Amino acid sequence: MSKSCSLLNFNLILHELTNIFMKTFIPLLFLLILTSCNKNHSDEKYEKKIVENKYSIFIPESLGATAELNNIASIQFQNLSEDFYVIVLDETKESFANAVKNNPTSISPDLEGYYNVIVSHFKKITQKDFKVYAIEKKKINSSNAIVFSMSGMSDNYPAFYRYAIIEGDQRYYQIMSWTNIPQEKKYTERMNKIIESFSVEETNSSINKSLLAKDKTKKEKLELEKNNSTEISYEKPDDEIQEIGSLFRPEIMQQEKIKLSNGKSNYQYTLTNSDLLDKDLENIKNHSKKITINYYNLLKRTNNPFSYNKIIVKIIHRNNKIDRFEYSEKDIKNISM
């Protein structure tokens, strides 16, 4: 296979992602007037959509199917009055591996490499204020996934994206949902529900009959059978991570567990390139306390029992200066009071 042929599929996907923005952006003032009623989306209904031999996903009933957003998306939905859009793209793992193999770069032919290519592409096409944050590596219905947020100005439009890249046995899937930046908090939960509902259903896939699906209660199954559209249950995203990301909007957030010789561990949370933290150095320690409390609450909730030596907050600024704050159990109790 020639280099040009192996790159064709993936470059086509990137080209189509670029084309999306020319088709969907409507004057923001007009949209804010239309959406000023601020509907409650927590109880909205969802419909299950199935792409045969690939995947299923739940989409809010209020979104309508369209063919205008992307030429190669397997499904695409929108609500113009809400300025809300979602598409799903997919590509064989083989075609991406061939593209990497025939293109001399440091990109790895795996999920991490796929993520790096997508982020690099969005950084290139976003004119200014590009940020990546709220990055999570997790399992979605037994499939490996990277879920993250991006924002920036594109064609004078303040765009917010909630994005997921999911690995199947045979394919990589991209779930791309977006709206305008002022509506980030309003729609992030809805975007997360859509992402968490995604289930790989490839023919002969080892994930197809996942343990998570078997764990559904009889009541949930009956409800799904009773209603074609229903509220979906989903793995709740880490609110604490979302809170840190929303408050400080760093380009990168990382967690690290550092084991010590006494059997305990230090837990370090690193934020890189946050404009807010760079500009408000006078209050950097107070900001580190907010980060620490959110991170502590996450660790306490997800680790039972939870034992630690210190929680460390590391802030890397754009000028490469590093601020590092350490908090013991006693310190955290004092902060919480």
pLDDT tens, 266-311?
A: 999 998 888 889 999 999 999 999 999 999 998 988 888 888 999 9
Q: Which residues contact 31 (CB under 8 A, 6 or more apart)?
A: 81, 82, 83, 180
On whether both 124 and 219 belong to a single domain, the answer is: yes
Q: Which residues contact 90 (CB under 8 A, 6 or more apart)?
A: 54, 55, 74, 171, 172, 173, 174
In this structure, of 85-94, 110-119, 254-263, the range with the lowest mean pLDDT score is: 254-263
Nearest Cα neighbor of 250 from 166, 169, 135, 161 is: 135
Instruction: Quote the mean pLDDT of the chain.
Output: 80
On whether both 120 and 177 belong to a single domain, the answer is: yes
Q: What is the CATH number of the domain that holds 319?
A: 3.10.310
Statement: the pTM of the whole predicted model exceeds 0.85: no
Q: How far apart are CA 89 and CA 70, in angstroms?
A: 9
On whether both 175 and 246 belong to a single domain, the answer is: no
Nearest Cα neighbor of 41 from 254, 179, 161, 191 is: 191
Q: Please give the C-alpha separations between residue 91 and each of 14, 170, 182, in angstroms, as whole numbers.
A: 12, 9, 32
- Residue 49 burial class via C-beta count within 10 angstroms: exposed 0-12, middle 13-18, buried 19 and up: middle
On whether both 279 and 173 belong to a single domain, the answer is: no
On whether both 56 and 180 belong to a single domain, the answer is: yes
In this structure, of 85-99, 249-263, 292-306, the range with the lowest mean pLDDT score is: 249-263
- Residue 89 burial class via C-beta count within 10 angstroms: exposed 0-12, middle 13-18, buried 19 and up: buried
The per-residue pLDDT for 313 is 96
Where a domain ends, among 183, 199, 230? Answer: 230
Where a domain ends, among 230, 254, 278? Answer: 230
- How confident is the model over 185-204, as pLDDT tens digits? 999 999 999 999 999 998 76
Q: How far apart are CA 303 and CA 162, in angstroms?
A: 27
Q: Which residue has the tokens 């879920």?
A: 147
Look at the chain and report how many structural domains it folds into.
Answer: 2
On whether both 202 and 292 belong to a single domain, the answer is: no
- Residue 332 sits at the vertex; the CA angle it makes with 330 and 334, to the nearest 5 degrees, is 70
Residues 313 and 324: beta-carbon distance below 8 Å: yes
On whether both 187 and 323 belong to a single domain, the answer is: no
In this structure, the strands spanning 46-51 and 64-65 are: unpaired
Long-range contacts of residues 289-293, Cβ cutoff 8 Å, at least 24 apart: 289/325, 289/327, 289/335, 290/244, 290/247, 291/244, 291/248, 292/325, 292/327, 292/332, 292/335, 293/332, 293/335, 293/336
On whether both 35 and 179 belong to a single domain, the answer is: yes
Torsion of Cα atoms, 225 then 177 then 189 then 114, to 10°: 100
On whether both 249 and 309 belong to a single domain, the answer is: yes
Q: Which domain holds residue 196?
A: 3-230
The per-residue pLDDT for 68 is 86
* pLDDT top residue among 32 and 265: 265
The per-residue pLDDT for 154 is 81
Residues 194 and 173: beta-carbon distance below 8 Å: no
The per-residue pLDDT for 13 is 61
For the ranges 84-98, 100-114, 123-137, 170-184, the one whose mean pLDDT is highest: 170-184
| Token couple for 36 | 């000023």
On whether both 218 and 243 belong to a single domain, the answer is: no
Strand ranges for the chain from DSSP E: 46-51, 55-60, 64-65, 75-79, 84-92, 128-140, 143-154, 157-167, 171-180, 199-200, 229-230, 252-259, 265-272, 310-316, 322-328
On whether both 106 and 201 belong to a single domain, the answer is: yes
Q: How far apart are CA 104 and CA 92, in angstroms?
A: 20
Q: How far apart are CA 165 and CA 211, in angstroms?
A: 21
On whether both 156 and 30 belong to a single domain, the answer is: yes
| Token couple for 197 | 């509902």
